[in-house]
Amino acid sequence: MPRCSHPVWLFAASVLLLSGMLGDSPEVRGQAKPTPPAVPKEFPILTTPAHLGAKVGDTVDLTLTGTNLANVTGVWTSFPATIVIPSGQKDAKQLKVKLTIPANTPIGLHTLRVATEEGVSNSRPFIVDDLPSVAETTGKNKSLPTAQPIPLNVVVTGAAEAVSSDFFKVPVTAGKPLTVDVLARRFGSPLDPVILLHDGTGRELGGVYADDTPGLQSDCRLVYTPRQSGEVIIELRDSIYRGGGDYVYRMRVGSFPGATTAYPLMIQRGKSASIRFTGPDASGARPVTVTAPADLSVDAIYAVPHTGEGMSGWPVPVLLSEYPQAVEAEPNGDAKTAMPLPVPGGVSAVFAEKSDIDTFRIAGKKGVKVTIQVLTYAVNAPTEVYLRVLDAQGKELLKSDPTQAGVKLDFTPPADGPYDIVCEHLNYLSGPNEVYHLSVVPTAPDFTVTLGLDQIDLPQNGMGVLPITGLTKLNGFKDAVKLTIAGTNALAGSVTIPAGGNPVPTNPLWLPITVKPGTQPGPIVFRVLATAQTGKQTITQVANHFDATKAAFGNMANPPMEITTEVAAAVTPSVPFTLSGKLDKTEVAKGSSWKATISAKRDGKFTEEIQLTSVETPTGITAKLKPIPKGKDSVDVEFTTDAKTAVSGSAYLRGTAKVAGKTHTVVFGPIALTVTAAKPAPPAKK
C-alpha cells in the first residue's frame, strides 16, 4: 500500500515530557484547561551524561546514573546488544550494567532506556563508534603547555568548563590529512563547540579553525593537511565560553573522511543505490551500495563514509521515498537540455559549477495541482535554492520566496503541456557540497499524527492508554484514521480517530494498549502506525513525538527520525487486583445520568482500599467517583451529562492502591457512554 503522497518533514507535536501512566484529567472536559499530569515519583529517570558510548565489538561496564533505578527488569538499547545486569544492586541512584556491542553494529547515535517494576525511563543517547575512547584529563589540560597527549584515531570524551579551553596534542605526518570532528549538539549536549589549531610550539595556525560547520547542527569539524611532520595542538571550547558538567562532547581525531551529506540524498523504498558523499573533505570516501527497506516505519537509513584505510567518517542519512528517484544529469541548463522528471518523482542535484542552472521538465495536466518541494537543511546540505516555474514559452508562472523558510510551492497547470522547473543557487555558490533534493508530486490529502508521550507502563494483567494529542490535516484531508501498534508481537491495541475528529493536547484521544499473555516484565519499544483510506488511496504514516524528542535532546534542530517515533513500554509485574465496570443502561438523554458499578477482582490477601480517578471522559460528561472500600469488591458511582454539550464517547478510569508501601495502578476501559438527544418537553396545558 502506498504511503503519503509526499514526504512530510515538518511535524506538529506536543511538548509533553511525561512518563508512564497518565495523571488525572479533569472530570469535565471542554470546560477547563487540564493540568498536565506529573511524572510518577516511582518512575526511573536517567541522568547519565549524553556522551556515553563504546566501540563496536567491545564489552564495557557501564554505570547508569539517575533516580528510582532499583528493582530493574531490563535495559533496552536501539541495537541488539547483549546486556548483563549484576544481581543484588540496591542503590536507586545508579545501576551497573555489562554491555557487549556486536561487531556488526552500525556506528552512530543510538538510544538506551531502563525499565523497572514501576515503569520505563526517559531515552538517553548512546554512541557507537569504531574508534577507541580516551577520557579527557579533567582540569589538567587547560593551557597550551599542559595539552593532553593523545594518539591518532581515537575519540576523546570530555566536558567543557566555563571560561576555559581544553587542549590536546596529537602527532601529524606531512601531507596526510588530519580530521577533527566534535560531536555535541548532534546528541543533545548544550555545548556549541569551536576548534582552533596550534603548531607544536603553541603558535596559532591562522585560518585553521571550525565553528558551526554546515550540515552538523552547530557542531564543528575541520580537516588539516600539515606541511611538516610533528605535532599540532587542538584547542576546543564553547563558542561563548559556557561550560559545566552537562557540556559534554566526543571529539573524533584521526584520518577519516569529513563527509556531511549523502548523494543521492533520497532513494526509493525497496531499491538499491550507490551512495557517494559530499562535505568539507569527502573526496577520498568510497561509494557504498545501500538497500532501502520496504518498512513504512523507516524514514531514513545511514551510509558510512570510508576511504578503505583507517577509520570511518560519521554516518550520514539517506532519506526514503515511495516514488521513483533520479540523479541529475548534465547538461540541463536551459529549456533545450531540460532533464525530464516524472510526476510523482524526485531528483538529487548539485550546483557543481559557477553560475550553474538546473532545469527539470514535467508533464502538467490542466487543473491537477502538484507540490514542488526542495530539501536541503533537513539532509545536512548547506544549499539555498531559488526556484521558478516556466511554461513552454518561457513565461514565469511561479517563483519561490527567498524570505520564507524552505522551498515549497503548490502549482496548478493552466493547461496540459510541458513545464520547466528552474533551480538556481540563491547565493550564487557552487561546488560538490552544494547539493539539494527536488520532488514533484500530485497534491493529495494527507495528515500527520502526534503522540503526547514516548513512554508508558503496562501491568501484565492490565492495560495502559497512550494519548494522541494532534492530527494535522493537509490538502483537504477529512477521513477517519486508524491507529495500531507496530514493531512488536507482545502488545496489542487500536483506536480510530473519526472523520472530523481533532485531538489536541487539552482534549486528546486515547489509544488503549494491552499486554499479550506470557509476556515477561521488561522494556518493549514499539511504534504507532496511522492508516487512512482516502478514495482509492491508502495513506500510512508513523505517529511521532517530534517536539518532545527535540526538547529531550537539547533542542537538537533535526533529531533522527527513528528516535521521534519510538515509544517505550515497561511491562510491569501483575498488580493484585483488576477492575471492570457495568452501566445500569446503555444510553441516556442529554441532562441525564448513568449509575455504574465498578467491581474489583482481588488476588490473594489483598483487601486495601482502591482509589478511583478519571483518566478520560467525553466532553460534557462528569465522572462522580469514590473509592472501593477496604475489604469490599465493588462501589456504585455515577456519570452525569451536560444538558448542552454532552457527546457520546468512552471513559477510562484508573484504580490506585498501596500495598506494603508500594503503589499499584490499573487503568481500565473503555466504558461506552452513549448520549441521545434530550426528549422534548411536553406541551404546556392551555
What is the full DSSP assignment across 407-458? EEEEE--SSSEEEEEEEEETT---STT-EEEEEEEE---EEEEEES-SEEEE
| 23 — pLDDT class (breaks 50, 70, 90) | very low
Beta strands in 32-107 (DSSP E): 45-46, 53-55, 59-67, 72-77, 82-84, 94-100
Give every CB contact of residue 558 below 8 A, 6+ residues apart in sequence: 217, 377, 378, 380
Within a 10 A sphere around the Cβ of 402, how many other Cβ atoms? 12
Instruction: Record the cell numbers describing residue 91, joined without a space.
Output: 542503590
- pLDDT of 11 > 60? The answer is no
**Cβ–Cβ < 8 Å for 409, 423:** no
* pLDDT tens-place string over residues 40-90: 557 899 999 888 999 999 999 999 999 999 999 999 999 999 999 999 898
| 18 — pLDDT class (breaks 50, 70, 90) | very low
- pLDDT of 636 > 70? The answer is yes
Tell me the whole-structure pTM to 2 decimals: 0.86
**Cβ–Cβ < 8 Å for 374, 409:** no
- pLDDT of 382 > 50? The answer is yes
First to last CA, the chain: 66
| 36 — pLDDT class (breaks 50, 70, 90) | very low
The pLDDT value recorded for residue 548 is: 85
The pLDDT value recorded for residue 214 is: 83
Positive or negative, the Cα torsion across 9, 10, 14, 16?
positive
Quick one: which of 595, 573, 598, 570 has its CA closest to 583? 595
| 354 — pLDDT class (breaks 50, 70, 90) | very high
Torsion of CA 219, 160, 244, 123, to 10 degrees: 50
The pLDDT value recorded for residue 527 is: 95
**Cβ–Cβ < 8 Å for 664, 656:** yes
Q: What is the DSSP string of 578-624?
A: EEEEEES-SEEETT-EEEEEEEEEE-TT----BEEEEEE--TTEEEE
Q: What share of the chain is helix, strand, coil (3-state, %, to 5)?
A: 5, 50, 50
The pLDDT value recorded for residue 679 is: 60
Backbone angles phi, psi at 186, to 5 degrees: -70, -10
The pLDDT value recorded for residue 295 is: 81
Q: Give the span between the Cα atoms of 265 and 283, in whole angstroms.
A: 17
| 643 — pLDDT class (breaks 50, 70, 90) | confident
* pLDDT tens-place string over residues 107-144: 999 999 999 998 999 999 999 999 999 999 988 999 99
**Cβ–Cβ < 8 Å for 103, 109:** no
**Arithmetic mean of pLDDT, 481-502:** 94
- pLDDT of 409 > 90? The answer is yes
Q: How many residues does the chain have?
A: 686
**Arithmetic mean of pLDDT, 261-277:** 95
How many Å separate Cα 363 from the centre of its chain?
36
pLDDT over 90, % of the chain: 76
Q: Give the span between the Cα atoms of 649 and 17, in whole angstroms.
A: 27
Name the strands in the sheet holding 621-624, side by side, starting at the edge strand that comes first in the sequence: 577-583, 593-602, 634-641, 621-624
* pLDDT tens-place string over residues 154-173: 999 999 999 999 999 999 99
- pLDDT of 25 > 60? The answer is no
Torsion of CA 5, 9, 11, 15, to 10 degrees: 160
- pLDDT of 24 > 70? The answer is no
| 226 — pLDDT class (breaks 50, 70, 90) | very high
- pLDDT of 39 > 90? The answer is no
- pLDDT of 3 > 50? The answer is no
- pLDDT of 683 > 80? The answer is no
603-609, long-range: CB < 8 A, 24+ apart: 603/574, 603/576, 603/577, 604/576, 606/576, 606/577, 606/657, 606/659, 607/631, 608/657, 608/658, 608/659, 609/657
Reduced 3-state DSSP string for 103-160:
CCCCCEEEEEEEEECCCECCCEEEEEECCCEEECCCCCCCCCCCCEECCCCEEEEEEC
Quick one: which of 332, 343, 486 has its CA closest to 424? 332
**Arithmetic mean of pLDDT, 175-202:** 94
**Matching residue, cell 516484565:** 521
The pLDDT value recorded for residue 65 is: 95
Instruction: Record the cell numbers describing residue 364, joined without a space.
Output: 502538467
Backbone angles phi, psi at 552, to 5 degrees: -70, -25
The pLDDT value recorded for residue 166 is: 97
**Arithmetic mean of pLDDT, 442-459:** 94
Torsional class of 593: left (φ above 0), alpha (ψ -120 to 50), beta (otherwise): beta
**Arithmetic mean of pLDDT, 490-495:** 95
The pLDDT value recorded for residue 305 is: 94
CA atoms within 13 A on the CB side of 160: 27
**Arithmetic mean of pLDDT, 222-237:** 96
**Cβ–Cβ < 8 Å for 217, 183:** no
Q: Is 96 helix (H, G, I), strand (E, B) or coil?
A: strand
User: In terms of C-beta density within 10 A (0-12 exposed, 13-18 middle, 19 or more buried), how is residue 650 classed?
Assistant: middle
The pLDDT value recorded for residue 113 is: 96
Torsion of CA 105, 109, 115, 121, to 10 degrees: 180
Q: Is 59 helix (H, G, I), strand (E, B) or coil?
A: strand
- pLDDT of 427 > 50? The answer is yes
- pLDDT of 38 > 70? The answer is no
Q: Is 13 helix (H, G, I), strand (E, B) or coil?
A: coil
Q: Is 44 helix (H, G, I), strand (E, B) or coil?
A: coil
Within a 10 A sphere around the Cβ of 301, how many other Cβ atoms? 19
- pLDDT of 430 > 70? The answer is yes
Q: Give the span between the Cα atoms of 331 and 334, in whole angstroms.
A: 8
The pLDDT value recorded for residue 41 is: 56
Paired with 513 in beta bridges are: 464
The pLDDT value recorded for residue 10 is: 25
Q: For each of the domains in the chain, give its residue range(s) and CATH number, in order of start.
A: 131-311 (2.60.120.380), 577-676 (2.60.40.10)
The pLDDT value recorded for residue 649 is: 87
Instruction: Record the cell numbers describing residue 583, joined without a space.
Output: 452501566
* pLDDT tens-place string over residues 274-305: 999 998 788 789 999 999 998 877 888 999 99
Paired with 94 in beta bridges are: 65
The pLDDT value recorded for residue 459 is: 92
Query: How confident is the prediction for the chain on average, in pLDDT?
Result: 89
* pLDDT tens-place string over residues 514-572: 999 999 999 999 999 999 999 888 999 999 999 888 888 888 878 888 899 999 999 99
- pLDDT of 6 > 60? The answer is no
Give every CB contact of residue 163 below 8 A, 6+ residues apart in sequence: 241, 243
